Structure 1
């Protein structure tokens, strides 16, 4: 089974702080709501390279849902990706992020790396005690800066050094 690379959008691909010069500004309209996002078109290539090098599968783990395939993927050069259905309505059991139980259900026994700006110790604890989960790496991304080479390197090293990588 291929390992998974789980991607959040806001705070990861769309930083909340002042974007670096290599980011481009886009306006997206979803259900009559206009959003401004800042995206780095090189992120797509770098994520695809990581997936190829490690034999992993890219998956959206974002409240953008399928809208990530419509608005985000084409602007950074990603194909349409599977989407983990998440709903912000669920109550936290142990202080974990509302997405964490959805992620746990989706990943099953597959190892995964999760890039998110809102994953913390409570999420790791929740996932570690969840029955049947494979090993994983939570990569906390600074929401002001977004995804960096260091984050991608952490994922690559973890997948290859732990033996989960199918591409090395």
Structure 2
């Protein structure tokens, strides 16, 4: 079993912010299961995420309700290859106030350290992950859904991935 760290990516609110705040964001039309969606993406995010993963020895993975659609609609537009997908849909709710994706992430990471970029996580998620027996070190990066992923978020993740060690779980 590998201890290679993971970088987990949400789409809506992280890579697809709620509002256009930069000229670098481009509108795209996606059709998922017969429904049309407009998304905003910064194509520079793909190279920045790939560089983060490459420089720190991490593996990128999707932790989004887009699931496999992220590989079809988001990854190519960002210049990323198909990434592993954490299956998160079909779970109706939380057990202790945590986001419905959190339990699936806890099972997926299987002891690997990880950074998770998401706009919907809180204290309940941190406690759930900290107390879950299959979870080791992690960093939750709270992304403002209005602006999405920023260089500051990427720098925080890079510093944590580069400096992690025997330290306690970080928030």
Measured against the shorter chain, the TM-score band is over 0.9
Question: Is residue 95 from structure 1 mapped to residue 122 from structure 2 by the alignment?
Answer: no
Matched-pair contact (CA < 8 Å) for 1:12–1:115:
yes
CA distance in 2, matches of 1:163, 1:156: 14
Which stretches in structure 2 are left out of the alignment for 5+ residues? 167-171
Matched-pair contact (CA < 8 Å) for 1:19–1:38:
no
1:88/1:16 CA distance change after superposition, 3 Å: farther
CA distance in 2, matches of 1:134, 1:96: 18
Question: Is residue 63 from structure 1 mapped to residue 65 from structure 2 by the alignment?
Answer: yes
CA distance in 2, matches of 1:90, 1:160: 36
Q: Deviations over 1:65-86 (max 9, x none)?
A: 1000000000011000000000
Secondary structure of 2:51 counterpart: helix
Runs of 4+, deviation exceeding 3 Å? none
Root mean square deviation of aligned Cα: 1.1
Decide which of 42, 54, 57 is 2:56's aligned counterpart.
54
Matched-pair contact (CA < 8 Å) for 2:107–2:134:
no
Matched-pair contact (CA < 8 Å) for 2:106–2:134:
no
More displaced 10-residue stretch of structure 1: 55-64 or 125-134: 125-134
Which stretches in structure 1 are left out of the alignment for 5+ residues? none
1:74 equivalent in structure 2? 76
Matched-pair contact (CA < 8 Å) for 1:88–1:99:
no
Matched-pair contact (CA < 8 Å) for 2:109–2:134:
no
CA distance in 2, matches of 1:7, 1:129: 22
Q: How many residues align?
A: 164
Alignment TM-score, normalising by the size of structure 2: 0.93
1:157 equivalent in structure 2? 159
Alignment TM-score, normalising by the size of structure 1: 0.95
